[in-house]
Amino acid sequence: MSKSMARVRRTLEEAGITPDIHETDGARTAQEAADAVGCDLDQIAKSIIFQGHDSGQCLLFLTAGGNQVDGAKAGALAGEALDRADAAAVRAQTGFAIGGVSPVGHLNPIRAWADPRLMTFDVIWAAAGTPRHVFPLSPDDLIRLSGAKLADFSG
Class of residue 64 by CB neighbours under 10 A (exposed 0-12, middle 13-18, buried 19+) = buried
pLDDT-derived band at 11, boundaries 50, 70, 90? very high
Q: pLDDT for 29-87, tens place per residue? A: 899 999 999 999 999 999 999 999 999 999 999 999 999 999 999 999 999 999 999 99
DSSP assigned state of 41: G
- How high is the pLDDT of residue 53? 95
Contact present, 97 and 87 (Cβ < 8 Å) = yes
Q: How confident is the model at residue 99 (pLDDT cuts 50, 70, 90)?
A: confident
**Domain ranges (residues) in the chain:** 3-150
Task: Determine the topology of domain 3-150 in CATH.
Answer: YbaK protein (3.90.960)
Q: What is the pLDDT of residue 36?
A: 93
Q: Quote the CA–CA distance of 134 and 113 in Å, as a whole number.
A: 20
